[in-house]
Amino acid sequence: MKQILHILAKDARHLRIEILLSVAVNVAFALACPASWRAAIEMRAFTSGGAYSAFEAQILVRILELLVPASWWLLISNLIHDERLVGNRQFWLTRPYEWKKLLAAKLLFLLVFLYLPLLIAQCWLLSVAGFSPLFYFPELFFNLCLISGFLVLPLVAIAAVTSNFAHMTLVILGVLLSIVALLAMTGRINLATMTLPWEAGVDVALLVGLCGAVIAWQYSSRKTRASVLLLVAIPVLCFGLGEFIVPSQVFVGHSYSFSDSAAGAPAQFTYTPSGLDNPVSSAARLPREVSIQIPLDVSGVANGSVVMPDAIRATVESTGGFRWNSAWQLLHVRKITPDDKTARVSFDMPLAIYDRLKSAPLTVHLTMALTQAQAGGVTSVFLPAGGFSVPDFGVCSPQAGFNDPGEVGGISCLSALREPHLTQIEVVAHNKSSGCDPAETNFGVKNATWQGSLSSWPADFGLSSVKFPYGIGPMSGDYAGEVGSYLHLCPGTPISFTRYDVVRRAQAAVTIQGFQLPALTPGQRSVITNP
Amino acid sequence: MNPAILTSGLSRRFRRTIALDGVDLSVSEGAIYALVGANGAGKTTLIKVLMNIFRPTSGRADVLGADSTTLSGKAFIRIGYVSENQEMPDWMTVADLLDYCRAFYPKWDRSLEQQLVRQFDLPLKRKLKHLSRGMRMKAAFATSLSYHPSLIVLDEPFSGLDPLVRDELIEGLIERATEATIFLSSHDLAEIESFSSHVGFLEQGHLLFSEEMSRLTERFRAVTVTLERTSPLPANLPSAWLQPEAADHVVRFVHSNYSEQAAAAEIRSVFPSARDVTMDPMTLRSIFLAVAKSSRINVSSATAKNSAKGIEA
């Protein structure tokens, strides 16, 4: 321990400027965050004069959000390169340094001068937002683990295999360019393919394991070439396996169970041709691809639950025997509630396939990956004049009105460390004519919105411990089909927050016989061929 | 007595370059061993293998009884290492450096440290990056001698230093010689001859000889034979005769295996018409040059022979 503290003291003394810089940027970020929350709320409310200052505050936070990791980059580079592992002329190589103690000293340094200021800033932000930091220690710890996995450990690993800041910078730029190139190559940058619910967890575990192994290996053996090989080869191998050799798509079956009977699925889908809502072809997100949108009838969603179509896979077969299978593709479809009767799903197909199949009657087999969530705890509040707390959701406050800042136009909420759990917020708003008469019992228009996600992670990756803003935004009559008649809330208006949790993930299928691909307009075709 | 350093069949390659080729070396405890050799002979590589900075490609090296590949951490409490091109923490002052190093060594001797600071006239408050080359070496010496190491390893410690600094360093070193084995590499043959007890000669990765300095200077002689009449050099001269050359009626060569009794008879048998024979002791520098030149001639002729064989094949 003595040697660890001795090296730590030396590093702290040598790197005092870098430490000060890092802490200063961290403090600036923490101070700028609350202003940006207020600004974001103002932006949503469109209060007069608020938008410009809101924009400035948001930009400042974004810049500081980049400067914090940049200051870590400098700090980590100088810290690791003070006893650099690459080369054979370093003074420390022939001194009684024990690699475990050297590594421990470096990690302790990061704990004291990187993690601790960040943790203090995060606790302070929670406290400013109205959360008690003491209740969020596991989440804070998880967030620090994510920051370690995505930022700190990769920086330490790269510093361990490079000889100086310039070398490290070049490597990081190379890594970033490679990632962008790989993402662009596989189309992920367009978010066209789906990721499985557990993929992010596996990615983080792999990253932490890999970086940890490289750091330990390099400190124990200083075999830089082998460490670099490990650092490059394993991600490339994993990426190659994931994207090209064993597509993650094959794991969809394990994550989304398939029931032989249609009734076993969270929702049943059928296709009924009707004159009111027809299939449509249009330009897809990727160039030279056509998006086919098909309206489906929906039934069988259990009461108190909601179904989210996550992904779709299409098999299209012509009478001539030609068959085309799509990969699993992300679906951007609104949540399906028991009241919903229809849903419009879409999949993308290459233009060449479309042209080959467009004139013949087809058999289309659609398989959808669905997540079913069930309503759980309900929190009901009567809108107070000031802020209020909603368990499992966040800290909320009334928000200025759309036209009249003196009026409550909605509610804005901050959540701690992660997006809130998937929550349906229901409110019955007043219309302009009813004012805020306490005697008014018929409030007017029922309004509902969904917020949050079904992620099971206790915290999202991010430097700020507070996520913002969630809730019901400024209300206009558009919600209720009464254009021009603006809605608002009043003190005492009842608001309910219903939390939804994942019940199961399953597949549902529908087969459409004799389907004719809808025609592309010349304009759409032109967009597809000349993106 | 166990050797402080022992290598057997030690080789180290850098891709296609052979830096060390089967080096067998033994340095006894208490010796002041000077490793000499031309630039690129493999001296620094050998030292870095001994210090576990490089790993051997094959063979083995033992340092203070331990396999060199296991040298790390606490093992360096007994070893002091100074190299001409070592990267020091330049941002530290001399006092910082001494303070920092002190905590790593349980046997750090404060009085010895102060003695060395005085002896080397070290400016304690000056940063290392502002020191001259000589002062930096002195600071490195002070941090490597203050804990009474059992083995002091020095890689070209006097290179590029002025004579005054060299003397000061050598003086500091000799004072430690009673308690430590000293292993150093150097180009400065005249300097090391004055205090080394043993010498090894490394040439293109091969250790050509390794022995006591006194024995070495004893067995090398610069021989001048004056003949009665001009005569060409006979073929098949003894292999111990290096660089033989004849001019008029004088033949000169370096005897690398001289003994007082046998040498005269051996010379008379090769040159029966010898009128006069003188055999002068040689400096280490002269020995080094003679061995280096002979070695290169041998290597060249071996290469030529191999090339000729290749052509014939």
pLDDT tens sequence across A39-55: 777 666 555 455 566 67
Instruction: Give dist(CA A423, CA A381) in Å, integer.
Output: 14
Instruction: Give dist(CA A52, CA A46) in Å, integer.
Output: 10
Q: Is the dihedral of CA B170, B174, B175, B179 positive or negative?
A: positive
What is the structure's pLDDT at A183?
Answer: 72
Instruction: Give dist(CA A258, CA A68) in Å, integer.
Output: 46
For chain A, give the percent of residues with pLDDT over 90.
45
A271 touches chain B (CB under 8 A): no
Do B235 and B151 belong together in one domain? no
What is the structure's pLDDT at A500?
Answer: 94
Extract the tokens encoding A483: 């254009």
Q: What is the mean pLDDT of chain B?
A: 88
Between B88, B105, B153, which is nearest A96 by CB? B105
ipTM: 0.85
Between B76, B85, B153, which is nearest A89 by CB? B85
Q: With CB atoms and an 8 Å threshold, state whether A96 touches B104.
A: yes
Give contacts of B 160-189 with A, CB under 8 A: none
Other Cβ atoms within 10 Å of B228 Cβ, number: 12
Residues in chain B within 8 Å Cβ distance of A4? none
The residue of chain A nearest to residue B89, with distances taken between CA atoms, is A91
What is the structure's pLDDT at B1?
Answer: 66
Q: What is the mean pLDDT of chain A?
A: 84
The residue of chain B nearest to residue A83, with distances taken between CA atoms, is B89
On whether the CB atoms of residues B226 and B276 are closer than 8 A, the answer is yes
Integer CA distances (angstroms), A464 to A11, A39, A130, A144, B3, in order: 27, 16, 14, 11, 62
What is the structure's pLDDT at A191?
Answer: 43
CB under 8 Å to A240, separation ≥6 — which residues?
none
Lowest mean pLDDT among A243-257, A384-398, A462-476, B196-210: A243-257
Tell me the average pLDDT across A250-260.
Answer: 72
pLDDT tens per residue, range B157-209: 888 788 888 888 888 888 888 889 999 998 778 888 888 999 998 988 999 88
B263 touches chain A (CB under 8 A): no
CB under 8 Å to A381, separation ≥6 — which residues?
A388, A390, A494, A495, A496, A497
CA distance A106 to chain B (A): 16
Residues in chain A within 8 Å Cβ distance of B91? 14
User: Which of B53, B143, B155, B156 to probe by mutation at the A interface, max A CB count within 10 Å?
Assistant: B53
CA distance B46 to chain A (A): 13
Does position A423 have pLDDT exceeding 70, yes or no? yes
DSSP one-letter code for B117: H
At residue A187 the predicted structure's pLDDT band, cuts being 50, 70 and 90, is: low
Q: With CB atoms and an 8 Å threshold, state whether B105 touches A99.
A: no
Between B83, B91, B104, which is nearest A95 by CB? B104
The whole-angstrom distance between residue B89's C-alpha and the CA centroid of its chain comes to: 28
A99 touches chain B (CB under 8 A): yes
Instruction: Give dist(CA A44, CA A450) in Å, integer.
Output: 16
What is the structure's pLDDT at B313?
Answer: 35
Please state the domain count of chain B. Answer: 2
CB under 8 Å to A30, separation ≥6 — which residues?
A121, A124, A125
Tell me the average pLDDT across A378-391.
Answer: 89
Nearest to A176, CA basis, from A158, A194, A200: A158
What is the structure's pLDDT at B110?
Answer: 95
The residue of chain A nearest to residue B96, with distances taken between CA atoms, is A10
What is the structure's pLDDT at A1?
Answer: 83
For chain B, give the percent of residues with pLDDT over 90.
50
Do B85 and B147 belong together in one domain? yes
pLDDT tens per residue, range A501-511: 999 888 899 99
Do B129 and B247 belong together in one domain? no
Residue type, A500: Y
Does position B75 have pLDDT exceeding 80, yes or no? yes
Do B29 and B170 belong together in one domain? yes
Instruction: Give dist(CA A149, CA B253) in Å, integer.
Output: 71
Do B137 and B269 belong together in one domain? no
Between B54, B81, B91, which is nearest A94 by CB? B81
- The secondary structure of A89-135 as a DSSP string is -BGGGGSS--HHHHHHHHHHHHIIIIIHHHHHHHHHHHHHHT--GGG
Tell me the average pLDDT across A292-311.
Answer: 91
User: Which of B100, B146, B151, B156 to probe by mutation at the A interface, max A CB count within 10 Å?
Assistant: B100
Between A6, A88, A96, which is nearest B54 by CB? A88
Do B267 and B301 belong together in one domain? yes
A6 touches chain B (CB under 8 A): yes
User: Taking CB atoms and an 8 Å cut-off, how many pairs form between chains A and B?
Assistant: 50
Tell me the average pLDDT across B298-308.
Answer: 53
Domains and CATH numbers, chain A: 2-250 (no CATH), 259-371+505-529 (2.60.40), 384-492 (no CATH)
Instruction: Give dist(CA A437, CA A312) in Å, integer.
Output: 49
What is the structure's pLDDT at A484?
Answer: 45
* Orientation angle between helical segments A50-82 and A2-14, nearest 10 degrees: 130
User: Which of A84, A94, A103, A220 to probe by mutation at the B interface, max B CB count within 10 Å?
Assistant: A94
B105 touches chain A (CB under 8 A): yes
Nearest to A506, CA basis, from A249, A311, A298: A311
Do B202 and B286 belong together in one domain? no
Strand partners, B301: none
Residues in chain A within 8 Å Cβ distance of B48? 88
Instruction: Give dist(CA A441, CA A445) in Å, integer.
Output: 12
Residues in chain B within 8 Å Cβ distance of A94? 51, 53, 76, 79, 81, 153
- The secondary structure of A244-280 as a DSSP string is IIS-GGGGHHHHSEE-SSGGGSSSEEE----SSS--E
Does position A359 have pLDDT exceeding 70, yes or no? yes
Q: With CB atoms and an 8 Å threshold, state whether A82 touches B76.
A: no
pLDDT tens per residue, range B115-145: 999 989 899 999 999 999 889 999 999 999 9
- In B256-278, which positions are buried (b, 16+ CB within 10 angstroms) versus exposed (e)? bebeeeebeebbeebbeebeeee
The whole-angstrom distance between residue A285's C-alpha and the CA centroid of its chain comes to: 20
Q: Is the dihedral of CA B89, B91, B94, B100 positive or negative?
A: negative
pLDDT tens per residue, range A432-447: 665 666 565 555 667 7
pTM of the predicted model as reported, rounded to 2 decimal places: 0.84
Nearest to A269, CA basis, from A196, A194, A347, A369: A369
What is the structure's pLDDT at A398?
Answer: 85
Do B118 and B190 belong together in one domain? yes
At residue A240 the predicted structure's pLDDT band, cuts being 50, 70 and 90, is: low
Tell me the average pLDDT across A464-469.
Answer: 87
Domain end: B191, B215, B239, which one? B215
At residue B270 the predicted structure's pLDDT band, cuts being 50, 70 and 90, is: confident
Does position A389 have pLDDT exceeding 50, yes or no? yes
Strand partners, A305: A374
3-state secondary structure of A243: helix
Give contacts of A 376-415 with B, CB under 8 A: none
Domain end: B215, B232, B265, which one? B215
At residue A182 the predicted structure's pLDDT band, cuts being 50, 70 and 90, is: confident
CATH number, domain containing residue B175: 3.40.50.300
Integer CA distances (angstroms), A247 to A206, A238, A241, A242, A366, in order: 17, 11, 7, 5, 19
Do B252 and B292 belong together in one domain? yes
Between A87, A88, A91, which is nearest B88 by CB? A91
Does position A84 have pLDDT exceeding 70, yes or no? yes
Instruction: Give dist(CA B99, CA B106) in Å, integer.
Output: 13
Residues in chain B within 8 Å Cβ distance of A3? 103-104
CA distance B135 to chain A (A): 16
Residues in chain A within 8 Å Cβ distance of B19? none
For chain A, give the percent of residues with pLDDT over 70.
84
Integer CA distances (angstroms), B86 to A89, B44, B82, B161, B192, in order: 5, 12, 7, 15, 21
Select the more confidently predicted residue: B207 or A255: B207
Between B48, B73, B153, which is nearest A98 by CB? B73
Does position B217 have pLDDT exceeding 80, yes or no? yes
pLDDT tens per residue, range A121-157: 999 999 999 999 999 999 999 999 999 998 999 999 9
User: Which of A91, A97, A163, A219 to probe by mutation at the B interface, max B CB count within 10 Å?
Assistant: A91
On whether the CB atoms of residues A420 and A393 are closer than 8 A, the answer is yes
Extract the tokens encoding B100: 């920092």
B106 touches chain A (CB under 8 A): no
B88 touches chain A (CB under 8 A): yes
Taking phi first (over 0 means left), then psi (-120 to 50 degrees means alpha), and beta for anything else, what does residue B64 get? left
Burial of A289 (0-12, 13-18, 19+ CB in 10 A): buried
Do B82 and B142 belong together in one domain? yes
- In A406-420, which positions are buried (b, 16+ CB within 10 angstroms) versus exposed (e)? ebbbbbbbbbbbbbb
Q: With CB atoms and an 8 Å threshold, state whether A98 touches B72.
A: yes
At residue A198 the predicted structure's pLDDT band, cuts being 50, 70 and 90, is: low
A261 touches chain B (CB under 8 A): no
The residue of chain A nearest to residue B81, with distances taken between CA atoms, is A94
Do B185 and B300 belong together in one domain? no
Do B260 and B180 belong together in one domain? no
List the domain range (segments joined by +) for residue B235. Answer: 220-312
What is the structure's pLDDT at A481?
Answer: 47
Lowest mean pLDDT among A231-245, A409-423, B21-35, B285-299: A231-245
The whole-angstrom distance between residue A154's C-alpha and the CA centroid of its chain comes to: 21
Residues in chain A within 8 Å Cβ distance of B104? 3, 6, 95-97
What is the structure's pLDDT at A483?
Answer: 45
Domain end: B215, B238, B253, which one? B215
On whether the CB atoms of residues B50 and B68 are closer than 8 A, the answer is yes
